[in-house]
Amino acid sequence: MPRIRLADRVAIARAERTANAALRPRREISAREGCRVVVDGRTLTSFCGNDYLGLGQHLDVVSAFQEASAWHGVGSTGSALVTGHHAEHAAFEREMAQWLGYERGLMFSSGYQANLAVMQSLLTEGDVCVQDKLNHACLIDGARLAGCELKRYPHLDVEAALRQLMSRRDGAAMLATDGVFSMDGDRAPLADLALVARAQDALLYVDDAHGIGVLGPEGRGSLAVAGLGAREVPLLLVPLGKAFGGQGAVLLGSEALVGHVAETARPYLFSTAPAPAMAAAMRASLKLIRTESWRRAKLASLVARFRRGAAALGLPLQESFTPIQPVVLGDNARALAASRSLEAQGYLVSAIRPPTVPEGQARLRVTLSVDHGEADVDGLLAALAEAVKAAPAPLPA
């Protein structure tokens, strides 16, 4: 077999991505004020960020970050088990655990890191992890890196999840799911999954990145909507880069489970801890999430307005009643053309293509935020109708 040069492999892969309209260049944001962003010198109205509650630039949150940075610096100086665990981290972990009814919290630098840590710490060869096929990549990658058997059931198919758990041999079992799916915006059937996990003696683990802060009383997320708590969902992940408007994640669970992750998970042990200032900022976000229910009310109103308008215009809608409103166009080139048309009209909406979504399901992922107004939504709808109509239909196979 001839030797392969990595440079050749990279060049071939890029050529394939180019041919399939799958290149993914980064956009440089030079300024942001609410939902307005400056890209390449143009001010656009962004409908593709995840700052659902508008807390990323809230004065209380920014002030908490600045004050904590002035006192404690911009870095944590080390991993959490050496010198990186600060009083601000500890306070935030306690407040999160109390808010959501868990014994202990553990703060990570990112949700991706947290999911790798959980899977590698708790699962090993001979175990099984059963997951929804549309789970976020970090849940899937975490199971693969853990060395356990990964089984993926069709989206939202509770009976298939049950069959996969029933077919396992010896070893421990975990049933893992997103609370709200990041590309489709629909909610996992958590109450049914909790029954399946209990019946099959599997640990139910929920990543509620896109549900926390947005759904339920006080924004307590997908679990609260489903009437579940720590007994039914022993491990819950709360990422902070969406409704919290910041960065990082908090793992919540029992003292035994979270303590085990803290003491054994390589991604946690060998990573520098988050900045204390970020923990301080996220404490400010938590207070706003709990007390300012008008943010969720406004967001729900904007979602309903978008869906009514999209239906009236005949736009292809998914069954989503969260701030994530995908407009599935199917073909990569068509999604890119629609995205460019929107940008020409003053709106930033990214084209989401494989491997982020399955083949043939390229889309515009519209996300709504408290920073938007009704006029913004109405303007986007008019621009969407024009963009989708103008986008070329896919060529016949």
Tell me, yes or no, whether 260 lies in a domain: yes
Tell me, yes or no, whether 8 lies in a domain: no
Tell me, yes or no, whether 11 lies in a domain: no
Please check the confidence at residue 273 and state whether its pLDDT lies above 50.
yes
| pLDDT on residue 396 | 45
To the question of whether residue 210 is assigned a binding role by annotation, the answer is yes
Whether 337 and 358 share a structural domain: yes
CB neighbours of residue 111 within 10 Å = 24
| pLDDT on residue 394 | 58
pLDDT-derived band at 221 (thresholds 50, 70, 90) equals: very high
Catalytic residue flag (residue 69) = no
Mean pLDDT of 224-244: 98
Look at residues 122, 109, 393, 147 and name the one whose alpha carbon lies nearest to residue 273: 109
Whether 266 and 381 share a structural domain: no
pLDDT-derived band at 397 (thresholds 50, 70, 90) equals: very low
Whether 213 and 332 share a structural domain: no
Q: Which two tokens stand for residue 117?
A: 């840590």
Please check the confidence at residue 95 and state whether its pLDDT lies above 90.
yes
- Identify the active-site residue in 182, 320, 339, 341: 182
Please check the confidence at residue 349 and state whether its pLDDT lies above 50.
yes
Whether 204 and 303 share a structural domain: no
Tell me, yes or no, whether 10 lies in a domain: no
Tell me, yes or no, whether 67 lies in a domain: yes
Whether 108 and 244 share a structural domain: yes
To the question of whether residue 155 is assigned a binding role by annotation, the answer is no
Contact partners, residue 176, CB within 8 Å, separation at least 6: 129, 130, 131, 135, 139, 143, 204, 205, 206, 207
Percent of the chain with pLDDT over 90: 91
Catalytic residue flag (residue 210) = yes
pTM: 0.94
The boundaries of the domain holding residue 72 are 59-291
- Identify the active-site residue in 242, 285, 350, 372: 242
Whether 64 and 40 share a structural domain: no
For the chain, give the mean pLDDT.
95
Whether 285 and 376 share a structural domain: no
Q: Are strands 351-352 and 362-367 parallel, antiparallel or unpaired?
A: antiparallel
Whether 118 and 212 share a structural domain: yes
Mean pLDDT of 349-363: 92
Q: Which two tokens stand for residue 87?
A: 């009083």
Q: Which of 264, 291, 318 is the last residue of a domain?
A: 291
- In angstroms, rounded to a whole number, what is the distance separating the alpha carbons of residues 326 and 44? 19
To the question of whether residue 353 is assigned a binding role by annotation, the answer is no
To the question of whether residue 136 is assigned a binding role by annotation, the answer is yes
Q: Which of 245, 274, 291 is the last residue of a domain?
A: 291
Whether 131 and 32 share a structural domain: no
To the question of whether residue 372 is assigned a binding role by annotation, the answer is no
| pLDDT on residue 392 | 67
Mean pLDDT of 382-397: 77
Whether 265 and 205 share a structural domain: yes
Mean pLDDT of 78-91: 96
SS3 352: strand
Q: What CATH number has the domain bearing residue 340?
A: 3.90.1150.10
Backbone angles phi, psi at 83, to 5 degrees: -130, 5
Q: Are 104 and 93 in contact (CB under 8 A)?
A: yes
Tell me, yes or no, whether 13 lies in a domain: no
Residue 56, CB-side half-sphere exposure with 13 Å CA sphere: 19
Q: Which of 241, 267, 291 is the last residue of a domain?
A: 291
Tell me, yes or no, whether 93 lies in a domain: yes
Whether 123 and 196 share a structural domain: yes
Q: What CATH number has the domain bearing residue 175?
A: 3.40.640.10
pLDDT-derived band at 308 (thresholds 50, 70, 90) equals: very high
- Identify the active-site residue in 210, 222, 320, 369: 210
Tell me, yes or no, whether 2 lies in a domain: no
Whether 81 and 201 share a structural domain: yes
The total of structural domains in the chain comes to 2
